[in-house]
């Protein structure tokens, strides 16, 4: 038997991640086995949630994964978890599919987090409207965030109808936040005080924790065994960049590569690590634009990548990994560096979002699903081989192929089509 809770909000920026992480941290400190999931394709929130729970936080995305895979992930977690937390994405009903669709599919009770900093009794009206909007959902309570005073909290609590339970409040406190930059939260590995922040947030939740203790346990169906995919990458050595500049890696993607038989090794272009002996190279997304000087200083690493490409060995470069391969990368502030140079042209970080959304890529092995989220724009003379498509079947991100290199802003979710994903590392993706 496992307790479970879906943590949602009426909009982004309400404090879902900090509260989810604080709850995970508290129960982990109490000796419970905690598993946390993040709705949607986000890379950054799961880093925080992983640190809080002491276990990799897995993405649940109905578009990229499908219903059955989402159910399976939660069923597997329930086999050895005392507590399952699922953090929603954006507003509860935003997007197609939405957080509400996932909560309904999984049958999880919903806790609504609401930023109450600029309202009083209207808080109750909004909470009532949200709770009545979709009859599939089971609302267990409402938690007020960024509350100004005890009196403010009493006004908010008194505004709730009897059908909604008050799960307490959190005061407006700069220490009860997580720092952000473009793309989202600052990476967990860059927050030396993360545990102190989580401990402080957990101490601010006494009412919430008392309500939490009253959550009934749930029974989840056992996971259904599935046949593993063929070992298309048996013995293939894949080197993967992983550091503060290249960190956008789904645990499910890494797990799939191992299931396909690949041998994974990791290196840091930022630290100037030598490229490990490998048959294929993966440069994932991240923040190379924040580390231009350090990346440019590691000339021997960039030379090794060029030699790898000249030898005709496969490279997959996603988003930030692709901008690292350009001739020049320019930050939002105007700093610039000459980098690997395998892709002719310049990538420039813009002040506004340049690409966002779920997309699909048609390959000879079928449809591969993923998402895009970036602030930079690429100007290149290299013609695209193909384009991904968005949900409206409009032209999406370009995909560039050159001598075994596949480069694109698209972040692919490999389990959506294991055979297609394998081709990135065999040199014949498209």
Residue 285 contacts residue 320 (beta carbons within 8 Å): yes
CA 65/CA 4 separation, integer angstroms: 21
Q: How far is CA 294 from CA 245, 249, 272, 348, in A?
A: 10, 21, 9, 18
Token digits of residue 199: 């401990």
Does residue 382 sit in helix, strand or coil?
coil
Catalytic option among 70, 211, 278, 319 = 319
430 vs 353: CA distance, rounded Å: 28
324 in Cβ contact with 283 (< 8 Å):
yes
Catalytic annotation on 319?
A: yes
Q: Can you tell me the distance from the alpha carbon of 36 to that of 22, in angstroms, rounded to the nearest whole number?
A: 11
Cβ(12)–Cβ(4) below 8 Å: no
Alpha carbons 40 and 99: distance in angstroms, whole number:
8
Q: Would you give the DSSP letter of residue 242?
A: -
Is the CA virtual torsion 320, 323, 329, 330 positive or negative?
negative
Is the Cα dihedral 191, 196, 198, 204 positive or negative? negative
Residues 6+ apart with CB under 8 A from 7: 16, 19, 20, 23, 85, 86, 87, 88, 110, 111, 113
Pick from 44, 48, 37: nearest CA to 8: 37
Minimal CA–CA distance to 246: which of 304, 187, 329, 184?
Answer: 187
What's the Rg (C-alpha) of the chain? 22
Q: Which residue is associated with the tokens 């993966």?
A: 282
Strand partners, 34: 83
Residues involved in catalysis:
319
């Amino acid at each position: 038997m496992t307790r479970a809770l879906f943590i949602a909000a009426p909009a982004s920026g309400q404090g879902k991640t900090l509260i989810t992480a604080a709850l995970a941290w508290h129960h982990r400190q109490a000796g419970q086995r905690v598993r946390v999931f993040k709705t949607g394709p986000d890379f950054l929130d799961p880093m925080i949630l992983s640190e809080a729970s002491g276990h990799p936080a897995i993405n649940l995305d109905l578009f990229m994964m499908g219903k059955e895979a989402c159910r399976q992930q939660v069923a597997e977690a329930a086999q050895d978890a005392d507590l399952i937390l699922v953090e929603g994405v954006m507003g509860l009903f935003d997007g197609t599919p939405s957080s509400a669709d996932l909560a309904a599919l999984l049958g999880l009770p919903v806790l609504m987090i609401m930023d109450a900093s600029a309202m009083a009794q209207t808080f109750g009206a909004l909470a009532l409207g949200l709770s009545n909007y979709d009859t599939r959902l089971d609302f267990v309570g409402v938690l007020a965030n960024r509350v100004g005073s005890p009196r403010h909290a009493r006004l908010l609590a008194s505004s709730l109808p009897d059908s909604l339970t008050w799960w307490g409040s959190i005061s407006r406190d700069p220490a009860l936040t997580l720092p952000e930059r473009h793309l989202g939260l600052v990476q967990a590995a860059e927050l030396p005080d993360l545990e102190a922040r989580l401990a402080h947030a957990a101490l601010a939740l006494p009412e919430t924790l008392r309500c939490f203790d009253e959550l009934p346990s749930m029974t989840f169906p056992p996971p259904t065994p599935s046949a593993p995919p063929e070992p298309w990458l048996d013995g293939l050595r894949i080197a993967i960049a992983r550091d503060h500049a290249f960190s956008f890696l789904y645990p499910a993607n890494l797990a799939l590569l191992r299931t396909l038989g690949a041998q994974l090794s990791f290196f840091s272009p930022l630290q100037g690590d030598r490229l490990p002996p490998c048959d294929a190279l993966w440069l994932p997304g991240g923040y190379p634009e924040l580390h231009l000087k350090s990346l440019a200083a590691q000339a021997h690493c960039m030379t090794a990548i060029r030699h790898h490409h000249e030898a005709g060995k496969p490279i997959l470069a996603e988003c930030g990994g692709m901008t690292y391969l350009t001739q020049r990368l320019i930050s939002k502030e105007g700093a610039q560096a000459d980098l690997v140079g395998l892709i002719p042209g310049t990538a420039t970080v813009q002040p506004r979002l340049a690409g966002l959304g779920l997309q699909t890529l048609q390959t000879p092995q079928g449809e591969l699903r993923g998402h895009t989220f970036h602030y930079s724009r690429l100007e290149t003379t290299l013609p695209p081989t193909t384009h991904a498509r968005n949900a409206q079947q409009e032209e999406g991100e370009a995909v560039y192929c050159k001598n075994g290199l596949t480069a694109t802003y698209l972040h692919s979710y490999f389990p959506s089509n294991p055979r297609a994903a394998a081709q990135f590392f065999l040199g014949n993706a498209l």
